[in-house]
């Protein structure tokens, strides 16, 4: 199983490149253009929620749009120019156009003294103000007495926009895949997650059938997940597993941040997949900071949602700066992330509970042609042992994944064994009745 | 919170000095004089239980008092003199006055060959005999053929005496603080615990209110706790937490010995306090030896009572010798012990369970002025993260202490955050109804 | 307690020597002769189950017997001769007698190229064929164009034979001891387990009484345990503890393989015994491969059966070769294995639950003459502390073994203390009513 790269890494990267120039924020046309692009790859449903709509403890904010912004010196030259980088403007900056004395201007300028050539990324969503983010070297070169400042933006009643795509499955139990669409020209922290989600959705579409229903969300961080949760309270109970995807395009080892519940199936599945991949990886316990897992794992929902990353927010030097650009993410890293996500889904889809139909003693494998470990073939011997594990632990209490972990073999190998034993009527699914009941419960709720 | 030393360490030491000369035993006037002194600091209730009273599996023994004791050589010189150290006489020695041949005398002499200048401490409560404890160097110098021996004691029907002081609280649920008053001139193993208890009680008195009722016991080891337990069977169920205090005046790191139950609130609280103090410390699992925790943690009671010590019984060279004197305990160590006890009580008092009143998603902290982590202020960022922990884990299942431990911050910091969030109506006490019920349960029982 | 070697090690070895020449397989006269020998030591009941009898998922196979087998060269010399070693013939080889070209013959020859002087051990129970096992050096010397091959065997309707011996106890709850009798002239992997079981049974017979009923099985691996389980389904529920014995005659440290349940009493008992013996040992988690524990621990039975070994199957160079001979097992190793088994049984027999009859506070040990730790006698002090552990933990929830483990003393020491405390009416058995109920449950089932 799993997938091989038939050019998908490059196509994932092309989508990142296509989305890079748009000036995204938590609302506005940058989000709309992003979702339009995504919608050319998967049949996305676009939702618009009006400013002022109460959502849980929050209110949907006014919509922000920006056309241009600059700082001109006395000579009329644009020393800072939004057209060169949309990071230059603090997101949600209110309109301004006037001459500003240098001392006052400095209070509106943000830079990184320790990385003087990079532009930082700043927002001011909930406090009305304006500002520019610039390289520290540029800041130090501003010696005129005053500068002409212009932010040609609007902050007005409008909408919060997000995208949603549901790939239906055999049950209404859902797997939630969430990525954020609110950062401007930042590749790893934003676009890599979108791209991974898009191509994962495409792969899911291509399957003949799915056990679970898959829901993909493309939302602004925090207010987006809060809005979705507010508007889907009745659906939240269907979410059985979930992942937030972010920073999956760089070359760092994977980091999996566990769900708040800490030991649910998604936590075990991702760790199993990473353990059986060839690369190093890191696991973090849940903590109530980060991306939208903060909302999905708030105590009132407490969903089984973890977060898959490579580099983690706040810990890599390119984070929230102009260095998180098209050179920081690579096709091969994007593809590897997709491949691991496919592995995760394959485990989720196949992780069933079986019962041994011949539980008293071992069944006679030889007369069924299942006993072929003779002759010192160590692969065959391992396969034989895995088969004995499957038979021994198929007592209706252990999932296929748990048995694979006991036998120390990859899930895929144990799944193949389970299928073989099922064909020989030695085991049967214990959960075959689960899902109709689950569906029924959904209908009732 | 916590306390600073405004001279209390010195006052604690003065109390130790005042109590040092009295010849305490498990009964008798030494105990009475000790409790009189204590009673000048806190309003102690003195209990007298008659000899012969059955208490659990035991019987209150006869009362022992001693006026003088000595060993005179042929020249009539006191070579051993009770007036110089009350350790010289084996506690509960019966009266004797006669010439004793040196060989017979030696069977009544106890010394420490490996520490030849120290006087050991010995008792013989339940086996009638007499004896002297002397430096080994002195023992070796006794060359006369016989010596005149006198123990001017009485062992007669009388009373077992102990002191009790209750500081009332909002509930009848109790915290039990116990220290022993049965050792003669020994400072760390006896007087340090008494002094710490006295000053802890004074501090508790000074509080405007207390959640728990605090019961202080000043009792002889073993027979004292057994007597108290026998006479308070109906009260024992109220004890929710407890500590035995002993050896808290020397300069060794703290040792906390867990309750028999091993993971109850007092166990977690003391470990948290010690972990967040700046000093090294040690934790011991429960074992059925030591001080009165043996009785409180007997299987028929199994109270949540631990034991706080610095040096531990039997492991320091001064233990049960004349070297456990006024130079072995120091004001600063006594005060530090008091300060940690105050920390422990503050956690117990404040360790409540909260529920998040906005559990769905994170509440919008910004509009409440609670989101101030912007600007790279790492203290503010940590505080913000602690606030998110508090909100995320306030699901009615975690105590404040547990949340502080998850967030890896001191309890006090999390308590301050809880108060702030409570003021903003974001969380509320989940246990607000607990205590009336608890009180009711008490009334019924 | 425990046993000392009064010549038993030598007698165990003599039994191994007596059984060594017989050509055992999973059926046939080799098994019968083996059981006859065993029957001269203990009153064995011999069971014969007809070929074709369905047993669980299996069928009792035809009975195999062999009189002679050889390979002769052109000169008529026996170059391979069954009379020299019964390992030479693949077990269950069908009859053959003809001239065989060398190339065809090679397909029927098995050898160990990396250990060219040893004869391997091979079977072909369920696939009809014939074969010879020979030293690789011999294989390389076979240069004739053809050889005369003869296997004078029969594979016909007959019986599967096994032996069973029950030593009755006070209850019908059973301890199952199983060893296999299906390997030809192999000492460690076969005969050592038989010998240990025989002498353990003799020791059990010699006891005045037994708490448990002990059932000894002498069976062919796999088909034997499956047959026994099939024919004793109603008895299986009585098995409370069990051990499979194998490879207990060599000089390697002990290995204990846990039951599938992993933390049941037999698992704890064996580990306690090995921990308190003076030798190194190894513990393995359960895995569904090995000897008859595979069947006893299949999910439909899931018995509390572990496996005691020294060297473990497949990991020692002599395994399943002619080097597993009379020089590989030694009287002293056989005896040591027996001694540990006796230790295990003594713990099982004595591992009861007690309740403290004076649970409130410590009972006054002194007036009962039980308090003798005075005087720095460290052995007495340890014994005193063990006594306090026994009193403190006798709350009806802890077994004697668990308390011994808490107190870090050998079970025997804690049992002696329990008996002493029982004599003084300080503790009483909490499980005194257990066994009649258990018996009743048996009668009902």
Q: What is the ipTM of this complex?
A: 0.92
Residues of C in contact with A364 (CB under 8 A): 57-58, 126
pLDDT per residue as tens digits for the range C164-182 = 999 999 999 999 999 999 9
Question: Domain residue spans in chain A?
Answer: 8-60+159-350, 63-156, 353-429
Q: Which residue of B355, B360, B408 to mutate against A (max A Cβ within 10 Å)?
A: B360
For B57, the closest of C364, C388, C393 (CB atoms) is C364
Residues of A in contact with C225 (CB under 8 A): 361
What residues in A contact C294, CB-CB < 8 Å?
362, 388, 392
Residues 383-422 of C with CB under 8 A from B: 385, 388-389, 391-395
- Mean pLDDT computed over A284-298: 97
Q: What is the pLDDT of residues B380-413, one digit of tens each?
A: 788 899 999 999 999 999 999 999 999 999 999 9
The per-residue pLDDT for A380 is: 78
Lowest mean pLDDT among A183-192, C373-382, C387-396: C373-382
A381 CA to chain C: closest CA distance, Å?
11
Chain A positions in Cβ-Cβ contact with residue C126 (cut-off 8 Å):
364, 366-367
Residue in B56, B225, B288 closest to C388 by CB: B288
Question: Is B260 in Cβ contact with C392 (below 8 Å)?
Answer: yes
Dist. CA A243–CA A301, nearest whole Å: 15
- Residue appearing with tokens 């064929």: C129
pLDDT greater than 90 at residue B70: yes
Instruction: Quote the CA–CA distance of C80 and C111 in Å, as a whole number.
Output: 13
> Across the interface, do C359 and B126 touch by the CB < 8 Å criterion?
no
Computed from CA positions of residues A247, A248, A250, A251, in that sequence, does the dihedral angle turn out positive or negative? positive
Sheet of B45-50, strand order: B45-50, B159-167, B213-219, B174-180, B239-245, B305-309, B254-257, B281-284
Chain A hits for B392, Cβ within 8 Å = 260, 288, 294, 297-299
Residue of C358, C359, C360 to mutate for B, most B C-beta atoms under 10 A:
C360
Determine the Cα–Cα distance for residues A260 and A285; give it in Å rounded to an integer.
8
CB–CB contact C358 B229 (8 Å): no
Pairwise CB contact (< 8 Å): A364 & C127: no
pTM (2 d.p.): 0.92
SS3 A119: coil
Tell which CATH classification among 3.40.50.720, 3.40.630.10, 3.40.640.10, 3.30.1300.10 matches the domain A8-60+159-350. 3.40.630.10
Identify the pLDDT of residue B380: 79
Q: Which residue has the tokens 């004739």?
A: C144
**Is there a contact between C392 and B229 if contact means CB atoms under 8 Å apart?**
no
Residue A445 pLDDT more than 60? no
Q: Give residues with Cβ within 8 angstroms of C389, minimum separation 6.
A: B287, B288, C403, C406, C407, C414
Alpha-carbon distance of C268 to B62, in angstroms, equals: 48
**CA proximity to C23, closest of C217, C187, C182:** C182
**8 Å CB contact between A228 and A53:** no
Contacts of C236-240 with CB under 8 Å at 24 or more apart are C236/C301, C236/C303, C237/C442, C237/C445, C238/C172, C238/C173, C238/C174, C238/C213, C238/C442, C239/C174, C239/C175, C239/C176, C239/C215, C239/C296, C239/C303, C239/C304, C239/C305, C240/C173, C240/C174, C240/C175, C240/C212, C240/C265, C240/C304
Q: What is the pLDDT of residue C397?
A: 93
Give Cα separations from C343 to C178, C206, C263, C275, C417 (angstroms). 17, 15, 19, 12, 18
Nearest to A361 among C127, C229, C287 (CB): C229
Test mutation, C54, C57, C258, chain A, max A CBs within 10 A: C57
> Is the CB of A262 inside 8 Å of chain B's CB atoms?
no
CA distance C139 to C123: 19
Query: Taking CA atoms, what residue in A is nearest to C125?
Result: A366
Residue C81: its H or E element: strand C78-81
- C-alpha–C-alpha distance, residues A179 and A251, integer Å: 19
More confident residue, B436 or C137: C137
From A257, A62, A41, A66, select the one nearest A163 (Cα to Cα): A41
Paired strand residues for B120: B321
From the CB of residue B200, how many other CB atoms can be counted at a distance below 10 Å? 24
Q: And the tokens for C124?
A: 């072909």
Average pLDDT of the residues in C102-112:
97
Render pLDDT for B275-327 as a digit per residue (tens, 0 to 9): 999 889 999 999 999 999 999 999 999 999 999 999 999 899 999 999 999 99
Superfamily of domain B63-156: Domain of unknown function DUF2172 (3.50.30.90)
pLDDT score for B444: 40
At A371, the pLDDT band (50, 70, 90 cuts) reads confident
The residue among A355, A357, A358, A361 with the most chain C CBs within 10 A of its CB, best to mutate, is A361
DSSP string, A260-319: TTSSSHHHHHHHHHHHHSSS-EEEE---S-SSTHHHHTSTTT--SEEEEESS-TTSSTTT
Is the pLDDT at A443 greater than 60? The verdict is: no
CATH number of A353-429: 1.10.10.10
A260, A289, A295 member nearest B361 (Cβ): A295
pLDDT tens for residues A4-55?
A: 999 999 999 999 999 999 999 999 999 999 999 999 999 999 999 999 999 9
Residue pair C184/C29 in contact by the 8 Å Cβ criterion: no
Asked whether the beta carbons of residue A391 and residue C288 sit closer than 8 angstroms, the reply is yes
**Nearest by Cα to B195 from B47, B293, B336, B65:** B336
Q: Which CATH class for the C64-156 domain?
A: alpha beta
* Cα B4 from Cα B203, distance rounded (Å): 12
Residue-averaged pLDDT of chain A = 94
Distance in angstroms (rounded) separating the CA atoms of residues B253 and B282 = 7
Give the separation between CA B204 and CA B198, rounded to whole angstroms: 10
The helix (run of H) or strand (run of E) holding residue A200 is: helix A193-206
Question: Which residues in chain B have their CB less than 8 angstroms from residue C360's CB?
Answer: 56-57, 229-230, 233, 298, 300-301
For residue B373, the distance in angstroms to the closest alpha carbon of chain A comes to: 13
> What is the arithmetic mean of pLDDT over A421-444?
66
Question: Given B127, B229, B287, which is nearest C361 (Cβ)?
Answer: B229
Question: Do B362 and A294 lie within an 8 Å CB cutoff?
Answer: yes
Under a CB-based contact definition with an 8 Å cutoff, are residues A31 and A24 in contact?
yes
| Burial of A411 from C-beta contacts in 10 A (0-12 / 13-18 / 19+) | buried
- pLDDT classification of B371: cutoffs 50, 70, 90: confident
pLDDT exceeds cutoff 80 at C274: yes
Size of interface A-C (CB pairs under 8 A): 64
Name chain B's partners: 3 or more CB pairs within 8 A. Answer: A, C
Distance of residue B250 Cα from the nearest chain C Cα, in angstroms: 25
What's the token pair of residue C318? 């002599």
Give, rounded to a whole angstrom, the gap between the first and last alpha carbons of chain A.
Answer: 36
| Distance in angstroms (rounded) separating the CA atoms of residues C243 and C342 | 12
pLDDT category at A372 given cuts 50, 70, 90 is: low
User: Is the CATH number of domain C8-61+159-350 3.40.630.10?
Assistant: yes
CA of A377 to nearest chain C CA: how many angstroms apart? 14
Q: Using CB atoms within 10 Å of the CB of residue A199, give its burial: 0 to 12 exposed, 13 to 18 middle, 19+ buried.
A: buried
CB pair distance less than 8 Å for B56 and C388? no
Of B127, B226, B260, the CB nearest to C361: B226
Q: Of C54, C311, C278, C98, nearest to C193 (Cα)?
A: C311
Average pLDDT over residues B103-127: 96
Average pLDDT over residues C346-372: 94
8 Å CB contact between C295 and C176: no
Mean pLDDT of C8-28: 98
CA atoms within 13 A on the CB side of C123: 14
Residues B308 and B256: beta-carbon distance below 8 Å? yes
For residue B434, pLDDT over 80 is answered with no
Q: What is the pLDDT of residues C30-71, one digit of tens each?
A: 999 999 999 999 999 999 999 999 999 999 999 999 999 999
The string of pLDDT tens digits covering residues C379-389 is: 778 889 999 99
Q: Considering just the CA atoms, what is the radius of gyration of chain A in Å? A: 26
Q: What is the pLDDT of residue A172?
A: 94
Q: What is the 3-state secondary structure (H, E, C) of A145-188?
A: CEEEEEEEEEEECCEEEEEEEEECCCCCCEEEEEEECCCCCCHH
> Which residues partner with C193 through β-bridges?
none
| Structure-block tokens of residue B228 | 């108290």
Give the chains touching C; criterion: ≥3 Cβ pairs < 8 Å.
Answer: A, B
A373 contacts in chain C (CB < 8 Å) = none
Tell me which of A360, A384, A414 to substitute to probe the interface with C (most C C-beta atoms closer than 10 Å). Answer: A360
Q: Chains near A, with 3+ CB pairs < 8 A? A: B, C
DSSP state of A410: -
> Chain C residues with CB inside 8 Å of B298's CB?
356, 359-362, 391-392
Q: What average pLDDT does this structure show over B255-259?
A: 98
B284 Cβ under 8 Å from any chain C Cβ: no
| B378 touching chain A per CB within 8 A | no
Asked if the Cβ–Cβ distance from B288 to C394 is below 8 Å, we say no
What mean pLDDT is predicted for residues C144-167? 98
Report the residue of A133, A257, A299 to disrupt the B interface, i.e. the one with the largest count of B CBs within 10 Å: A299
A to B CB pairs, distance under 8 Å = 64
Nearest chain B residue (CA) to A124: B374
In C220-299, beta strands by DSSP E: 239-245, 254-257, 281-284
């Amino acid at each position: 199983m799993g997938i091989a790269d038939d050019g998908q890494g490059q196509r994932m990267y092309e989508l990142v490149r296509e989305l890079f120039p748009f000036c995204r924020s938590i609302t506005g046309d940058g989000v709309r253009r992003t979702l339009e692009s995504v919608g050319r790859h998967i049949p996305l449903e676009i939702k618009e929620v009006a400013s002022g709509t109460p959502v849980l403890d929050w209110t949907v904010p006014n919509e922000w749009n920006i056309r241009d912004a600059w700082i001109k010196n006395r000579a009329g030259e644009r020393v800072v120019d939004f057209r060169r980088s949309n990071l230059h403007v603090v997101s949600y900056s209110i309109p301004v156009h006037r001459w500003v004395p240098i001392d006052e201007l400095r209070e509106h300028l943000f830079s990184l003294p320790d990385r003087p050539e990079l532009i930082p990324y700043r927002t001011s969503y909930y406090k009305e103000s304006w500002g520019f983010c610039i390289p520290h070297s540029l800041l130090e070169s501003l010696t005129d007495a005053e500068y002409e400042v212009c932010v040609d933006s609007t902050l007005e009643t409008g909408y919060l926009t997000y995208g949603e795509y549901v790939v239906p499955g055999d049950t209404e139990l859902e797997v939630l895949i969430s990525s954020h669409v609110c950062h401007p020209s930042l590749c790893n922290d934003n676009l890599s997650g979108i791209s991974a989600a898009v191509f994962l959705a495409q792969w899911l579409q291509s399957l003949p059938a799915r056990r679970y229903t898959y829901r993909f969300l493309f939302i602004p961080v925090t207010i987006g997940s809060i809005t979705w949760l507010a508007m889907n309270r009745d659906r939240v109970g269907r979410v059985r597993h979930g992942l937030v995807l972010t920073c999956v395009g760089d070359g760092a080892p994977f980091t999996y941040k566990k769900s708040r519940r800490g030991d649910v199936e998604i936590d075990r599945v991702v760790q199993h997949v990473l353990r059986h991949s060839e690369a190093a990886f890191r696991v973090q316990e849940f903590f109530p900071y980060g991306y939208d897992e903060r909302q999905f794992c708030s105590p009132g929902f407490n969903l089984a949602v973890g977060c898959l990353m490579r580099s983690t927010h706040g810990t890599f030097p390119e984070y929230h700066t102009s260095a998180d650009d098209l050179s920081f993410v690579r096709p091969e890293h994007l593809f590897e992330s997709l491949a691991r996500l496919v592995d995760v889904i394959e485990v989720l889809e196949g992780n069933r509970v079986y019962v041994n139909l011949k539980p008293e003693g071992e069944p006679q494998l030889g007369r069924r042609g299942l006993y072929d470990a003779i002759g010192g073939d160590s692969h065959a011997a391992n396969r034989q042992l895995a088969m004995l594990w499957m038979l021994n632990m198929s007592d209706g209490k252990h999932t296929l994944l748990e048995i694979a972990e006991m036998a120390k073999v990859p899930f895929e190998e144990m799944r193949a064994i389970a299928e073989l034993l099922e064909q020989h009527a030695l085991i049967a699914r214990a959960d075959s009745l689960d899902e109709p009941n689950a569906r029924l419960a959904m209908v009732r709720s």
